[in-house]
């Protein structure tokens, strides 16, 4: 049972940004990790609404009220499991997502400040790293099938992880010289330090995913070769060319 008065007892609060004189001396993330007391306080503001619009606002369908209440009660291990049930890489989304879930939060719709869902999410992800170091979860038995994934951005990595955990042999092809796609080359360190990407690549490698960086599909290897060598090919190469929107 959630705390029905949590949003009345606690105001919305976020951790203070690192001081500007400190931030300009490096490229590290702007926000430091939040303390457990602050995170549990903010999670307590979630009312576990009868109709939680945050579910609809989240493109992943994250179980937001569930893991908010698990954090409120200090059940971090269960919160980690609940969050990873719908999100392979919450440490990415918790730092980068524009948080449409917060815009959909019933508290905000009712004239209050919405729950700091994004901050709670990233702190659950931090807890996962601190508690088990993102333990690899290899498949119990191979299927004998192989899949080529073209592109090592967030979509390619998530697909590779799910396929590998299902028992398939997965090879990820990346044209750049390091794995990560947009996460590595399109997002500055002050929003996403690359240790988070490296940690997930190490986890996927331990789960059996093979990575081939510096290989451009269509140049170094043809689509016909991929079709011949694998049972399936997944294209996760992203939008490589920008486009303008029509003026109004």
Q: Are residues 167 and 116 in the same domain?
A: no
Q: Are residues 128 and 12 in the same domain?
A: yes
Sort 239 into a burial class: Cβ within 10 Å, 0-12 / 13-18 / 19+. exposed
pLDDT digits (tens, 9 = 90+) for 92-141: 999 999 999 999 999 998 889 999 999 999 999 999 999 888 999 999 99
Q: Are residues 27 and 115 in the same domain?
A: yes
| pLDDT score recorded for residue 119 | 96
- 214 occurs within a structural domain: yes
| pLDDT score recorded for residue 46 | 95
pLDDT digits (tens, 9 = 90+) for 4-28: 889 999 999 999 999 999 999 999 9
Which CATH number characterizes residue 186's domain? 3.50.50.60
| pLDDT score recorded for residue 181 | 95
Task: State how far the alpha carbon of 121 is from the alpha carbons of 24, 59, 82, 90, in Å.
Answer: 27, 14, 11, 7
The vertex-214 CA angle with 144 and 181, nearest 5°, equals 85
Radius of gyration over every alpha carbon of the chain, rounded to an integer in angstroms? 20
- 140 occurs within a structural domain: no
Q: Are residues 98 and 161 in the same domain?
A: no
Over residues 176-195, mean pLDDT: 95
Query: How many structural domains compose the chain?
Result: 2
- 112 occurs within a structural domain: yes
- 81 occurs within a structural domain: yes
- 247 occurs within a structural domain: no
Domain boundary among the residues 99, 132, 165 is at: 132
Q: Are residues 53 and 163 in the same domain?
A: no
| pLDDT score recorded for residue 248 | 61
- Cα separation, 246 vs 248, whole angstroms: 7
Domain boundary among the residues 132, 166, 187 is at: 132
On whether the CB atoms of residues 45 and 10 are closer than 8 A, the answer is: yes
Q: Are residues 157 and 120 in the same domain?
A: no
Strand partners, 235: 150
User: Among residues of the chain, what percentage have pLDDT more than 70?
Assistant: 99
| pLDDT score recorded for residue 50 | 85
**Of 84, 232, 226, nearest in space to 158 by CA:** 84
Which CATH number characterizes residue 54's domain? 1.10.1060.10
Q: Are residues 217 and 160 in the same domain?
A: yes
Q: Are residues 32 and 113 in the same domain?
A: yes
DSSP 160-198: HHHHHHTT-EEEEEESSSSTTTHHHHTS-TTTS-THHHH
**Of 19, 59, 18, 15, nearest in space to 38 by CA:** 15
- 137 occurs within a structural domain: no
Strands 210-213 and 169-174: parallel
Domain span at 48: 6-132
- 207 occurs within a structural domain: yes
Q: Are residues 150 and 172 in the same domain?
A: yes
User: Sheet containing 232-235: which strands, arranged edge to edge?
Assistant: 210-213, 169-174, 146-150, 232-235
- Cα separation, 32 vs 34, whole angstroms: 6
Task: State how far the alpha carbon of 61 is from the alpha carbons of 56, 110, 119, in Å.
Answer: 7, 22, 17
Domain boundary among the residues 105, 132, 159 is at: 132
């Amino acid at each position: 049972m959630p705390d029905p008065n949590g949003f009345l007892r606690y105001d919305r609060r976020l951790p203070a940004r690192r001081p500007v004189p400190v931030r300009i001396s490096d490229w590290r993330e702007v926000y430091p990790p939040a303390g457990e007391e602050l995170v549990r306080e903010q999670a307590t503001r979630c009312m576990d609404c009868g109709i939680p619009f945050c579910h609809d606002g989240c493109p992943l369908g994250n179980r937001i009220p569930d893991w908010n209440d698990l954090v409120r009660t200090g059940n971090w291990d269960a919160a980690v499991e609940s969050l990873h049930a719908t999100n392979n890489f919450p440490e990415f989304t918790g730092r980068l997502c524009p948080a449409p879930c917060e815009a959909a939060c019933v508290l905000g719709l009712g004239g209050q400040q919405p729950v700091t869902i994004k901050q709670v999410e990233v702190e659950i992800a931090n807890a996962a790293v601190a508690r088990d170091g993102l333990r690899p979860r290899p498949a119990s038995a191979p299927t004998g099938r192989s899949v080529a994934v073209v592109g090592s951005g967030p979509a390619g990595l998530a697909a590779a992880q799910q396929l590998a955990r299902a028992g398939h042999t997965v090879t990820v092809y990346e044209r750049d010289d390091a794995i990560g796609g947009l996460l590595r080359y399109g997002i500055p360190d002050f929003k996403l330090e690359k240790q988070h990407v490296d940690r997930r690549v190490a986890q996927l490698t331990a789960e059996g995913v093979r990575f081939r960086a510096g290989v451009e599909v269509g140049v170094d290897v043809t689509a016909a070769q991929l079709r011949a060598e694998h049972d399936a090919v997944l294209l996760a190469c992203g939008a490589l060319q920008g486009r303008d929107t029509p003026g109004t």
